[in-house]
């Protein structure tokens, strides 16, 4: 791997991992010219209670990713005890990859708008660049942001290709619309449906075998 090639970080509950998450990782890989995207399932997300246990969510991410080039699964948040805070993960990754390596935290626009509710959120803005992916039809105007986030956005926003250094920028990226959410999938499974078009087949098999989301 090239010594300064940027690395992407996609965290999430992945309850379960679905086609929208995969599309997001692949768009980021392509648009930001990343050497790889690390998919990091949250062990104990402190703001919500996932339905499937951490080890099952990790295994579903592994199966969804399979051998896809450029995508790697990182299990550190599932192994870590206690509540999962993204800032702890980013500090570890920064120490491992060194100060010169551009690190991009990949977020959907919905996750970005909730950023000020995250533990020590302002610290993470200097550690990594943020790539905020909007779907067609969803505009991310400064007006829709909480005031503290808007101030940071106005100070840091730039085109993805113009981010300087290894962290500190916020770039807005576009991706095709994939109207899929994990909530929708859990509801479909609970209703006895098989949403085969929304999930990789290996994930649906795992859910069936382990009787998850029933």
> Interface residues for ligand ATP in 64-103 (CB under 6 A)?
none
* 181 vs 199: CA distance, rounded Å: 10
Reported as type and span, the H/E element at residue 23 is helix 19-31
* Lookup: tokens for 80: 């870590």
Phi, psi of 96 (to 5 degrees): -75, -40
> Interface residues for ligand ATP in 105-124 (CB under 6 A)?
107-108, 110-111
Q: State yes or no: residue 20 binds ligand ATP (CB under 6 A).
A: yes
Total residues binding ligand ATP (CB under 6 A): 17
* 171 vs 61: CA distance, rounded Å: 26
Q: State yes or no: residue 200 binds ligand ATP (CB under 6 A).
A: no
Q: State yes or no: residue 181 binds ligand ATP (CB under 6 A).
A: yes
Three-class DSSP category at 98? coil
Q: State yes or no: residue 182 binds ligand ATP (CB under 6 A).
A: yes
Q: Which of 7, 9, 22, 24 binds ligand ATP (CB under 6 A)?
A: 24
Q: Which of 125, 170, 180, 199 binds ligand ATP (CB under 6 A)?
A: 180
């Amino acid at each position: 791997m090239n010594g300064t090639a940027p690395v992407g970080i996609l965290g999430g509950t992945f309850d379960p991992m679905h086609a929208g998450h995969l599309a997001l990782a692949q768009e980021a890989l392509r648009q930001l010219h990343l050497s790889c995207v690390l998919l990091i399932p949250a062990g104990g997300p402190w703001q919500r209670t996932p339905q499937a246990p951490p080890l099952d969510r990790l295994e579903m991410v592994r199966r969804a990713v399979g051998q896809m080039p450029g995508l790697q699964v990182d299990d550190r948040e599932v192994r870590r005890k206690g509540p999962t805070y993204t800032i702890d993960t980013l500090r570890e990754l920064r120490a491992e990859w060194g100060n010169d390596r551009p690190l991009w935290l990949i977020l959907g626009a919905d996750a970005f708008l909730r950023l000020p509710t995250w533990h020590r959120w302002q610290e993470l803005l200097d550690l990594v660049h943020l790539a905020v992916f909007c779907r067609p039809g969803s505009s991310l105007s400064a007006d829709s942001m909480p005031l503290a986030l808007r101030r940071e956005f106005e100070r840091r926003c730039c085109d993805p290709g113009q981010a300087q250094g290894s962290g500190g920028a916020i770039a807005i990226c576009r991706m095709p619309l994939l109207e899929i959410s994990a909530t929708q999938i859990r509801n479909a499974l609970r209703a006895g449906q098989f949403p085969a078009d929304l999930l990789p087949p290996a994930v649906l098999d795992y859910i069936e075998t382990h009787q998850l989301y029933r």
